[in-house]
Amino acid sequence: MTSFYSFFNQLFGAVFAPKVQKAIEKIILLLAALGFLIHLGLIFLKSQGTMIFSPLYPELLNDPISAIYTPFSLILIYEIYLLLFYLPRSFTSCVSKQFEIISLIVIRKIFKDIPQMNLSGAWYYDTHNLELAVDLLGFLILFLLIFLFNLSKQRLPKRPVEDPILLRFISSKKIVSVMLFAVLSIMSIGTFGEWVLDVLNQQIVPKIDGLFFNQFFTLLILADVVILLISFRYTEEYSKLIRNTGFIIATILIRLSFSADGFLTMILILTGVSFALLILKIYNAMEHPKMGSTA
């Protein structure tokens, strides 16, 4: 069993080594810049009427501002990679990274929706304009909630990493992280390939904002549940189990937002993050005096 843990510890160290992280960061930044230029080029070609485009996502080819959507999509891939790196550290740090990812997804959607604003006539009654206004306000609230969550996270007392029980628990979470990395890598390639074929064949495809990320958050929920079950072996503290369960509920609410339409999308996101923040504050109130707890 020790060799089994050792193998995955080494594998985790190889996949998420500092040099690897720096290399992936540089590759993502180069691809983001290249994708931005290609997207701008496609918008220019469409404006000149020199190329036939699929009618599936016309909103992404009508205005240069929409080109920001592409680099943000690539940056989100790197953020997911970092989330898997943070996964073994603590449940709370992982949840914080989830919230940062959903905030980037929201701002990416805003960049896509801004060029579609209706500025003529009774613009204040336009449904799209109202949804954009809700998204903008919701993003500000979301940003504040993430700040408050991270502030509350800093209050959590830390347990020495040398603790054998904690080291075994971290090793177990590294196994989950590595396996999730492998599954997500295969899934992302498959999803991208399927999306390209659907676009080329001009078939009906899912909403682009939720493409891949609805599956990602589904897998993340399953991974969180697995970690929660593993944690039963290392702790029986009621408050910690309830905290982790509450975080899973928050992730489920965020996952549901990808299937929602209109104002309900932002409502589900804010409800999930607010629920996690309240759970963490209640946990802090119960556990802060106990200097032996872990994050």
| DSSP letter for each residue of 221-239 | HHHHHHHHHHHTTT---HH
Instruction: Give helix 2-15 / helix 164-200 axis angle, nearest 10°.
Output: 50
Helix, strand, or coil here: 79?
helix
Q: How many CA atoms lie within 13 A of 131 on its CB side?
A: 18
Structure token digits, residue 65: 């501002």
Q: Where are the strands (E) in the chain, listed by range?
A: none
Neighbours of 247 (CB within 10 A): 24
Are 142 and 270 contacting, i.e. CB atoms less than 8 angstroms apart? yes
Whole-model pTM over 0.75: yes
Q: Which of 94, 256, 97 is nearest to 177 (CA)?
A: 94
CB 277 within 8 Å of CB 268? no
Positive or negative: CA dihedral 153, 159, 162, 168: negative
pLDDT by 10s per residue, the chain, length 295: 567 778 888 999 999 999 999 999 999 999 999 999 998 988 888 777 776 555 556 677 788 888 898 898 889 989 999 999 988 888 888 899 999 999 999 998 898 888 888 877 777 778 888 999 999 999 999 999 999 999 988 766 666 566 677 778 888 899 999 999 999 888 888 877 777 776 667 655 556 666 778 788 888 888 888 888 888 777 777 888 899 999 999 999 998 998 888 889 999 999 999 999 999 999 988 876 554 444 4
DSSP 159-173: --TT-HHHHHHHHHH
